[in-house]
Structure 1
Amino acid sequence: MVYALNETSETNEYASHATALYERRAQLDNFAQSFLMMTLRKNGNVAQAQTLLQALTANALPSATGTHWEEKQPDWFMMNTDTRTTAIVLYGIARVDPQNALLKNAVRWLMTMRAQGHWETTQETAWALLGLTEYMKQSGELDAHYTYAVAVNGKTLGQDQVTPENLTANQNFDVAIKDLLLDAANELLLTKSEGPGNLYYSAFLNYYLPVNQIQALDRGVMVMRQYFQVDQATLQPTATQITSA
């Protein structure tokens, strides 16, 4: 709330509230620290904002898919998730420290969290878009100029030139299962020319197996059903097992 009020204020009337929260920063979630960091920076408290930036940097979790942030416990009241937290931290760091080395990997992680092209909740979607847009503004990606091409197993699926005018346009390329190699690895090749801007992509494989050809698996899980007579007076189950209809 302090962040929202401070963003719409032309004075530092909420500076005392931000300072009070800073003194209790250890109790704040990562996303709340990001909000506070932006508030303090806007009010000119650069040193305090830098301290929060260092804390968020220390809390970053790198992985093969990028960098993200997690909370110690879920905050259902705030409808928060790790994806929402990561998006808000990305938003804050992009504003406070646009050259931070964590930003690119945070963007990568957010993009991999989409399922079928979208995030799981409206909160995740809203903050992911805000965080990604802020990153693009600060990094200069909105001034993209490059060409790209997509090919599978040596066959070109498409190519295009990216400019600021078509930067937000999505391109979808589909290959039928019957056109993929069944007895060898399939090669997905993406090429990008020199020029400002990054190329973001996601690849999905959707396939369906014939039910009559799927073999049953035994992985140690067994399901059993037992039926017992019910006492007519109390409607509670008895020890008498029913073995036939």
Structure 2
Amino acid sequence: MTRRALVTGATSGIGNAFARELAKRGLDLVIVARTTDQLEAIAAELRSKHGVEVDVVTADLATLAGMQAAANALTDSARPVDLLVNNAGASLAGWFGTTDIADEDYQLDLLVRAPMHLMDAAIKTMAGRGGGEIINVASVAAFTPRGAYSAHKAWLLNLSRWADIHYDDVNISVQALCPGFVRTEFHPRGQMDVSGVPKWMWLKADKVVAASLRDLDRDKPVSIPSFRYKVLAGLAQYLPKTLVTRMAKRGR
């Protein structure tokens, strides 16, 4: 039976790279995002190019209705999902304490509540039918003090590490993918100033995805693409937090 993956935030960036790579590998897909036209165009392209089935779910995952729509696809016993990629995300240009608290609520729902709900649906479904895999797109920011965004990603990293151990006995693997700066629409969409980020710190989305899937095959619970970010993440855990905080201010 053909394997099936659900990818959130599939219209651009890392999510789009996941959808394309998984389709190339022959997996059927459920792709989730807010814009139906973009989803349908991507679905048609992947069906034509790779001969896979692609279902479209239009949903704003920061809303209860959107989360439920995606969760329904995960719990559909007639079309089981073997791999969940929790990728949908965004960030704010300002630092917590200067931003609108309503915008912070939206970010919390999108970056924490949505992946929590979808993990819950996936785990309960996968555990009952022999296992599955979950990739949670966190960030190397999870290792640094960097405002609300890094706190959200640290939460996701922590939960992923625990779930990978706890659900090993029912054959569920959970990975936290922690990339650094990636050339996508993420920063321009959030109106973030990235002019101070040196060229060597930027990664390509397809390389991030390749590293993640390679690490998933090796049962690595945390995937940090590129040697340079592995070093930076390691240093961030041992250097003085005041120094790490100053270094982490880049890219806003």
Q: TM-score range by the shorter chain?
A: under 0.3
- Whichever of the two has the greater Rg, that structure is 1
In the superposition, the TM-score normalised over structure 1's length comes to 0.27
Greater relative contact order, per chain length (Cα 8 Å cut-off, separation 6+): 2
In the superposition, the TM-score normalised over structure 2's length comes to 0.27
